Chains A and B, each alone.
Chain A
Amino acid sequence: MKSLEELKAIRERTRGQMNLRKEDGPDNTRIVVGMATCGIAAGAKPVLSAAVDQVGRRKLDHVVVTQTGCIGMCMYEPIVEIYVPGQEKVTYVKMTPERMEKIVAEHIVNGQIVGEYTIGANE
């Protein structure tokens, strides 16, 4: 250890991951994947993995990936809901890992809702 910069680099590198262990704060964006039996059968597991992978690669420290149960629209599974603080919840349906990647890039990083995948566009 030769410098403060080195220490800071280690801190920054690890801290993103450690944020997971703080109480889920109101400032966090949440990606919630429906992981009930219907969701899993429709392929929610790879979608969840893609979300985790994308958040990790992009070092999105403020994003939490969690699951939820069945919300009653099994025909639209896999369903992913995105909660950005201060904004309305957005529900995406018939998700795939590819769609998940796109949503992380456009919705979470750039703040542009991907209209074509939302429940409104698929009803």
Chain B
Amino acid sequence: MEFVRSHILVCAGTGCSAAKSMEIIERFEEHLSRHALEKEAKVIRTGCFGLCELGPIVVVYPEGSFYSRVTPDDVKRIVEEHILKGRIVKDLLYHETVEEDVVSSINETGFYKKQLRIALRNCGIIDPENIDEYIAFDGYSALARALTEQTGDEIVDIITKSGLRGRGGAGFPTGRKWMFAKAAAGDEKYVACNADEGDPGAFMDRSILEGDPHSVIEAMIIAGYAVGAKNGIIYIRAEYPIAVARLEVAIGQAREYGFLGKNIFGTDFEFDLEIRLGAGAFVCGEETALIASVEGLRGEPRPRPPFPAVKGIFGKPTLLNNVETYANIPWILQNGWEAMAEIGTETSKGTKVFALGGKITNTGLVEIAMGTTLREIVEEIGGGCPGGKKFKAAQTGGPSGGCIPASHLDTPIDYESLSAIGSMMGSGGLIVMDEDNCMVDIAKYFLDFTVEESCGKCVPCRIGTRRMYQMLERITEGKATMEELDSLKELCEHIKANSLCALGGSAPNPVLSTITHFREEYEAHVRDRRCPAGVCKKLLTYKILDNCRGCTACARVCPVGAISGKVKELHVIDQDKCIKCDACFEKCKFGSIIKE
């Protein structure tokens, strides 16, 4: 790599790419060459910086200037001012880094200060398509040491002692999983990576693969060595095109450097990787369904045991871990198991990546030490709910998890405490809801997802989730009785107990947790035929108050002609005609229209 005095890092993750970061890169190259700076400053595509809300992100080194919401038109100024004359363009910087005209480090801002980046250690720092940059940050050194100095047993032992648990959601101890796969009989084994990230709003795995694909590849080779496997398979959904492309580039480079193939590091060990694309079915994130899909069969789960460690892909012993779990492995081997065991709580060690979404100021990707409280994530890192709205609940674990109310905001994040309050760690989606969200509607939304994604193999899930959905629909329409609320709970327990796989087994969680924590909201829907948050349309009535000025704006915007009245006189809504489209409510400038 030639020496330059400045590096311009542009986020090329999915979020920022969608916000024109590719065009920004082109503009940079164009303006740099116009000022003959191309030999002094280099544009580098990186992975996700995490602060997706403020993308596209551009960071200029050596100053470490963090530019946010950059548009292609801003590039000219950055080049002419910052790169050419050394004058940081302060008004384009992330506002949190500028206080009274003084620029502070990005690591001092609320969003980054509380984070601890292990799985995301290289994201937003290296060029994911340049293996040398990964190596420069100690990449593949854990592999080198493993192959030349350590035995498989030693490696499994280190992973076990580190306390690492599966980051895909269930939290099974990773070391134990490796031990089982290692102990399984047979000379042909598989090491597989579950990159079938399907929770709505979750994009941790995608960002790791886009920002640091080599960390996963290195971990899989180490896993292959530790458990005695020659073949690796990464199962990733086809709707992650950037991640797939980066993985392909990375695998190609790893082969070229001899990290994949025969005689790795001059030893007898051989290992190779291939990518299998999934069509995006949620159930294929379940391990037995994933294995079926890899084999070319329909993505349906099967009962366990036998567990994949004994009988997995093509009937061979298979070690299957999630992307984020793998991304932790090289770090543990480089820094020792003690380093990870020091971080976190009694039962949950290390860090967890969360995709923050919903009603939160800093939408994006964060990595925090286990034991950090939900309040710290939502209020300090996430910056709270926008518009001064009141926080109502946080949903973790996607369609398998539950809602955590404000009263539990001080719960430390770890596998056990989240389960204890009726949610789960899950893969790391964290959706924040404010006072404008109806909890019954949220539960219905997640159930709608599960109904769509149920594979249909077992009855409790196929029919049960649909019945649950119908019951929720009746509640949101004000047709349900209090007895139905009880039978809904009963059905939930039944589905939980009898489903074949975790998809069905966890599908009732969003309903159960909202009934537990927000029962009064369910009762308001059922008993009072009222939606307190004003979301469920069928339960809303639009009314015009006496302070109506008779401006006729509402009558003109109403698509069904339900509003009548003369100019400068009180208008009236015909409730029989009203379709509750909200158009009049949004149009009224005088706050004369209310919904209740």
Chain A: residues with CB nearer than 8 A to chain B?
1-4, 7, 10-11, 13-18, 20-21, 23-24, 33, 35-36, 40, 45, 48-49, 51-53, 55-57, 59, 64-69
**Contact between B135 and A69, CB atoms less than 8 A apart:** no
13 contacts between A and B (CB under 8 A): A7-B141, A10-B136, A11-B136, A14-B1, A15-B136, A16-B3, A17-B1, A18-B133, A20-B5, A20-B7, A35-B85, A52-B4, A65-B5
- A3-B266, A23-B107, A24-B63 given; name 13 further pairs at CB < 8 Å: A1-B257, A4-B144, A4-B265, A7-B140, A14-B136, A18-B133, A20-B7, A21-B61, A21-B125, A35-B84, A40-B85, A48-B40, A52-B39
The listed residue (A15, A16, A18, A69) touching B87 by CB distance below 8 A is A69
Contacts of A17 in B (CB 8 A): 1, 3-4, 136
Chain B: residues with CB nearer than 8 A to chain A?
1-7, 9, 36, 39-40, 61-64, 84-87, 105, 107, 125-126, 132-133, 135-138, 140-141, 144, 148, 257-259, 263-266
Residue ID in chain A nearest B83 by CB atoms: A67
B550 CB to nearest A CB, Å: 61
Contacts of B62 in A (CB 8 A): 20-21, 24, 64, 66
**Contact between A21 and B7, CB atoms less than 8 A apart:** yes
Question: Which of A2, A14, A23, A53 has the most chain B CB atoms closer than 10 A to its own CB?
Answer: A14
User: A-B pairs with CB below 8 Å: how many?
Assistant: 100
Contacts A11-B136, A21-B61; A56 near B258 (Cβ below 8 A): no
Complex Cα–Cα for A16 and B426 (A)? 40
The listed residue (A1, A11, A13, A36) touching B265 by CB distance below 8 A is A1
Complex Cα–Cα for A93 and B245 (A)? 50
Contacts A17-B3, A66-B63; A52 near B40 (Cβ below 8 A): yes
Complex Cα–Cα for A64 and B36 (A)? 20
Residue ID in chain A nearest B134 by CB atoms: A14
Complex Cα–Cα for A68 and B62 (A)? 13
Contacts of A49 in B (CB 8 A): 39-40
Contacts of B85 in A (CB 8 A): 35-36, 40, 67, 69
Pick the 10 closest A-B CB pairs, nearest first: A56-B3, A67-B86, A1-B258, A14-B136, A65-B5, A14-B132, A15-B136, A52-B5, A2-B266, A18-B136
The listed residue (B9, B86, B141, B265) touching A21 by CB distance below 8 A is B9
Complex Cα–Cα for A36 and B230 (A)? 59
The listed residue (B2, B3, B148) touching A4 by CB distance below 8 A is B148
**Contact between B64 and A7, CB atoms less than 8 A apart:** no
Contacts of B264 in A (CB 8 A): 1
Complex Cα–Cα for A50 and B141 (A)? 35
Contacts of A7 in B (CB 8 A): 135, 140-141, 144
Residue ID in chain B nearest A37 by CB atoms: B85
Residue ID in chain B nearest A52 by CB atoms: B5
Complex Cα–Cα for A40 and B141 (A)? 45
Residue ID in chain A nearest B256 by CB atoms: A1
